Amino acid sequence: MGKKVLLIEDEQNIIEAVSFILSRDGWEVKTHSNGHDAIDAVRARTPDVIILDVMLPGKSGFDILREIRADQGLAHLPVLMLSARGQAKDVEMAEHAGANQYMTKPFSNAEVLDAVRNLVMS
């Protein structure tokens, strides 16, 4: 079994597409689709890397990321943030919140794969 990716995203068709390409690349993919209890999902799934959308129902990806970084058991996890917003201030906010990488939509499948591989290797 490969390493585990937790994809926190609320768009069902993006979940299916990204899950498919990661699975074909050998990753074990877990998904979660709302912000309310995303931190519980992170604790329960114990992923090696997290893909985290910014705009989620219930709680923003930035808030979830801050919770992850504040938790001693999770703080080390690499996080790739996905967002439709690509302004400099958004990127800066993501860096400040503790994101390892920030990717703007629409992204290509190859970009996501490369980012996830690099985050786990580093």
Partner 1 sequence: MLDRSMVGTRIRQRRVMTGLKQAELAERAGISASYLNLIEHNRRRIGGRTLLQIAQVLEVEPSLLSEGAGAQLLAALKEAAAGQNDLSPDATAEVTPELDRIEEFAGRFPGWAGLLAQLNQRCEDMEQTITVLTERLAHDPQLAEALHEVISTATSIRSTAAILAETRELEPEWQMRFHRNINEDGSRLAEGAEALMHYLEAAPDTKADIRSPQDELHAFLESHGFHFSQLEGWGAASRVEPIIENSAELRTGPAQELARVLLRQYVDDARALPLDEMLRHVERYGIKPDVISQQSQQPLARVFRRLAFLPENVTGLVGLVSIDGAGAIVLRKPILGFSVPRNGAACTVWPIYDCLAQPGRPQRHMLRQGDLRLEALAVTEEVVPAQFDRGPLVRAHMLLLPLEAGAGQENARDVGSTCQICSMADCPARREPSILSSGL
Separation of alpha carbons 95 and 101, rounded Å: 8
Q: Which of 21, 74, 113, 120 binds partner 1 (CB under 8 A)?
A: 21
Separation of alpha carbons 86 and 1, rounded Å: 35
Regarding 26 and contact with partner 1 (CB under 8 A), the answer is no
* Whether the Cβ atoms of residue 84 and residue 61 lie closer than 8 Å to each other: no
Only segment of 26-34, 38-46, 59-67, 99-107 that touches partner 1 (CB under 8 A): 99-107
Closest to partner 1 by CB, 48 vs 107, is 107
Regarding 17 and contact with partner 1 (CB under 8 A), the answer is yes
Give the per-residue contact string, 57-96, with partner 1 (x = CB under 8 A; - = no). ---------------------------x--x---------
**Residue bearing tokens 């058991």:** 73
Exposed, middle or buried by CB within 10 Å (0-12, 13-18, 19+), for 67? middle
Q: Least Å distance between CB 111 and partner 1?
A: 10
Q: What angle do CA 20, 25, 30 make, to 5 degrees?
A: 50
Regarding 24 and contact with partner 1 (CB under 8 A), the answer is yes
Closest to partner 1 by CB, 66 vs 107, is 107
